[in-house]
A and B are shown apart, each in its own frame.
Chain A
Amino acid sequence: MSCKSGCDKHVLQKSRRKVLKGLAAGVAALALPAPNASASIWDAFFQEHFRELDKEGLQKVIARLEEQYSKEYGKQVNVKATPPIEGVRFGYGLDLSRCVGCRRCVYGCVQENNQSRSPQIHWIKVLQLEKEKGVYLDVAEHYYNPSEVPEKGHFYMPVQCQQCENPPCTKVCPVQATWPEKDGIVVVDYNWCIGCRYCMAACPYGARHFNWTKASLPAEEMNPDTHYLGNRPRPSGVVEKCTFCIQRTREKPGRYPACEEVCPVGARKFGNLLDPKSEMRYLIENKRVFLFKEDLNTQPKFFYFY
């Protein structure tokens, strides 16, 4: 999706929505005994799409969310809306020959990104595959649980959002609640998603996850450094996914994604694809590269090396 044709339309829609909002607020003011008490509920209900918020509107939304989360988790929660950095397009690399299948990335991600602990939501899935058969998913073991990894005769393939250049998931969303950002990260506006799960049907990598109920996230484990489009707590009934740790990678100085940082064998690489001197570019140019489900033309920015 680009803004080429859409921007004027959005402005129009915005003014129309304001009319609707005014009408509804009027009705609400008449119908509700304590309009003050319910103001934030109505604000949340009528909150505009993230990309339609102006600066002031965004600040208001963020202030409301910070207050809500701080109250809920009993600590100061910070919600950022850091925009993409000019001249940056993120890419991820994973060396299949190094990965030992320890799943530290899976749980590092859960901690960093405030996923639900029960039911468990994992943005990364590690598949145990057979060396003899290669990437043959039919024999993939999803719930391998030996006392020690790696197991003989097997290799491990972590799968997470491939941050496609040509994402099938954003195309199908009926309300434009998900889109690729300028730095290539595919994000979701959790306050706009209607929870139809069409994107989950469209994603070839199983990278999208649904909040089937209210996420349980112990206050002491909650990471208070959050991004609006990333790891802030998600409401029930919406879809979420990996964002390359948008709350870390967009900062100056940037930090590596949590999964990259926690990997004990250095199988994970991350960097700016537009920088010719970056490690990512060197690896792509010098290693054997494998793109997952290449025939679907999703054009992943997640590169497997082997």
Chain B
Amino acid sequence: MKNIWNFFKGTLTLTARGSTAYYCWVGALLLFMAVGAIAYVVQLKEGLIVTNMRDQVSWGFYISNFTFLVGVAAAAVLLVIPAYVYNWKPIKEIAILGELLAVSAIIMCLLFVTVDIGRPDRFWHLIPFVGLLNFPQSLLAWDVVVLNVYLILNLTIAVYYLYNLYYKREPNKKFTTPLLLFSIPAAISIHTVTAFLYNGLGARPFWNASILAPRFLASAFCSGPAFMILVFLLVRKYTRFQIKDEAVQKIAELIAYAMFINLFLLGAEIFKEYYTGSVHLAPMKYLLQGLHGHSALVPWIWTAMIFNFVAFLIFLIPETRRNNTTLIIGCVLIFVGVYIEKGMGLVLPGFIPDVLHEIYEYVPTGIEMLLALGIWATGLFVFTMLLRVAIPILNGDFHVADDGVGSYIGDQMFFIKKGSKEAPQEKQSLSMVSAED
């Protein structure tokens, strides 16, 4: 117990230290979080009327973000599989970063659902045995269960692993390996269940296609790893952590396969709707061409399609995949492309036209965007804090001090400019921190 407390105290000390760049970054995130919190207070006071959602389009920007982020969270599995199933070392070293991203993404998912519901004060109705969770009938009940299981699972693995490294112990494989293996189906399940949540509604032909869950997974395996690559490149450049090129390359290769499947499935869906030409074509037409003069989503979806296709080519051609500049461009294109396609591009056509074929064009309000910004800032804040602790531990720069009580903090800066060799003054800044700090 005491060890846990000392570890916790050490992490607090550690996260409070860093370079000016680190402080600026964290400060900016905290500022955006505060803005988001204010927006939420306004929404709580006035009701969801401060959003542009109405009876015709009853889910909007919040649920779009939620759907996209479930995919990002699920994508951690793309690191776990090569690392632990195939025991591939270069990725094994960084798989834990994927789990931390999953934790951060799930926290954002839960926040997005919370701000979307009309009565957050009644959240306890969802708690099994305390409230009345409609399990197994409601897919939303399934989602509540799998998302929380996945969060706890990843948090347990990561914290257990880091905690042991901190105390210079070898993590017990008999404990971690089964959990890691279980995290693979768990990751697939969170995204499958989220897809089924839409998929099972006969009232919404745009979602009522069996291709939806496979498409969800394919696009998730693009966006999540793309974000991971960006994080790896940043971490490699601005912290002391080393990440091998072959690991990044392997992930980029996997993204190329996933994007191919994603584009193929999309094509299959477009063919089916257009060739059949039934009344169920309307939402697809609204998305791609506009319907009865309403075309708010059209420029967005075509931007997404072009982004995804260009990124696919970048990741497919070995030269551009290996070039850092084009690799970064590809990752950004994929992240933005999938964000549009799996976010608003998926949710809104379910409601436009609505079940009685009324067209209500939805654009999020300022409050919705500020609140979403606040949640993204919260997620990035959580991720930054997790990395601030995890990276020094993995580097051996943060561990228990020789007295067995205090912490040794070897990395005072976290964000550094690496270009000009290892700065010598950093070595001097190594210091011992007593537990009393």
Complex Cα gap A197–B66 (Å) = 15
Look across to chain A and name the residue whose beta carbon is closest to the beta carbon of B123.
A194
Mostly helix, strand, loop or mixed at chain A's interface? loop
Q: Are A175 and B126 in contact (CB under 8 A)?
A: yes
Q: Determine the chain B residues whose CB is within 8 A of the CB of A172 once the complex forms.
A: 137-140, 200-201
Q: Are A196 and B203 in contact (CB under 8 A)?
A: no
Q: Are A171 and B119 in contact (CB under 8 A)?
A: no
Q: Are B118 and A211 in contact (CB under 8 A)?
A: yes
Between B120, B121, B125, B139, the greatest number of chain A beta carbons within 10 A of the residue's beta carbon is seen for B125
Interfacial residues of chain B within 274-312, with CB under 8 A of chain A in the complex: 279, 282
Q: Are A204 and B202 in contact (CB under 8 A)?
A: yes
Q: Are A237 and B203 in contact (CB under 8 A)?
A: no
Complex Cα gap A198–B163 (Å) = 40
Q: Give the segment of A25-33, A68-76, A136-144, A283-291 that binds chain B.
A: A136-144
Complex Cα gap A140–B358 (Å) = 8
Q: Give the segment of B31-39, B52-60, B247-255, B361-369 that binds chain A.
A: B52-60
Look across to chain A and name the residue whose beta carbon is closest to the beta carbon of B142.
A174
Q: Are A195 and B203 in contact (CB under 8 A)?
A: no
Q: Determine the chain B residues whose CB is within 8 A of the CB of A3 once the complex forms.
A: none
Interface size on B, residues (CB 8 A): 52
Look across to chain A and name the residue whose beta carbon is closest to the beta carbon of B128.
A13
Complex Cα gap A176–B134 (Å) = 6
Query: Among the listed B46, B132, B198, which residue makes an inter-chain contact with A213, where contact means beta carbons less than 8 Å apart?
Result: B46
Smallest CB–CB gap between B390 and chain A, Å? Answer: 34
Complex Cα gap A119–B358 (Å) = 18
**Contact of A174 with B356 at beta-carbon distance under 8 Å, contacts A201-B204, A237-B47, A238-B119 already known:** no
**Contact of A119 with B144 at beta-carbon distance under 8 Å, contacts A173-B138, A174-B138, A236-B118 already known:** no
Smallest CB–CB gap between B136 and chain A, Å? Answer: 11
Does A177 sit at the interface, judged by CB under 8 A?
A: yes
Contact flags A9-41 to B (C-beta < 8 A → 1, else 0): 010110011001000000000000000000000
Q: Determine the chain B residues whose CB is within 8 A of the CB of A119 once the complex forms.
A: 49
Q: B residues engaging A (CB < 8 A)?
A: 46-49, 51, 53-56, 58-59, 113, 116-126, 129-134, 137-141, 144, 197-198, 200-204, 279, 282, 350-351, 353-358
Q: A residues engaging B (CB < 8 A)?
A: 1, 10, 12-13, 16-17, 20, 45, 49, 52, 119, 125, 127, 137-138, 140, 142, 159, 168, 171-177, 192-198, 200-206, 208-214, 235-239, 296-297
